[in-house]
Amino acid sequence: MSTVANEALGYVDALHNLARYLTGNETDAEDLVQETYARALRAEHQFTAGTNLKAWLFRILRNTFLSSYRRQRNNPTVGGLDTVDAYAQGPASETWLFDDLELDRLRKVVAEEIETALMTLSEEARTVILLDLEGLTEIEVAEVVNCPVGTVKSRLSRARAALRQKLKDYAR
């Protein structure tokens, strides 16, 4: 087994986690990860040694998801960032978003609520939040989602605002 293969297999948990949050179910997530590794194996010669293998694998996974799964699913949670509640993105919401009450509510959020809230966000929003949690830099996230770094910055900010909005809705 090559060095790249060895290293790539070390990222399977992180890839599966993103796949699970993209597809919403275990069976599709496993299929997506398997297909990702199959594609990566075929394209191994295209990988530039010394660059970020993890980000490269995430990009393949997301592209595979978009090309193979998005068309097959009639999933209302999969869409562009347009599906994120516009209310959470506007400056008008900022006044309540950052008050003591919200901080208190956040401290009481349980696992099921945060997972459910995340799954209501668009695919792009979920992806940038999860890649940020994985520790990818904005430059690496930009490579994964194929957009400028500045766009990643704004998408992450809007996605987190939308997530807070969802959590606030649950707390009502």
Query: Residue 142 corresponds to which tokens in the numbers above?
Result: 């930009």
Q: Is 99 in the site for another protein (CB under 8 A)?
A: yes
Does the protein bind another protein through residue 16 (CB under 8 A)?
A: yes
**40 is written with which tokens?**
């990566």
Regarding 107 and contact with another protein (CB under 8 A), the answer is yes
Residues 62-91 binding another protein (CB under 8 A) are 91
Per-residue buried b or exposed e for 104-136, using 16+ beta carbons within 10 Å of the residue's own CB = ebeeeeeeeeeeebbebbbbbbbbbbbbbebeb
d(CA 86, CA 107): 24
CB of 133 to another protein, least distance (A): 6
Site of tokens 């919401």:
93
Which spans of this chain sit near another protein (rule: CB under 8 A)?
1-2, 5, 8-9, 12-13, 15-17, 20-21, 25-30, 33-34, 37-38, 41, 44, 91, 94, 97-100, 102-103, 106-107, 109-111, 114-115, 118, 129, 132-133, 137-138, 153-154, 156-157, 160, 163-164
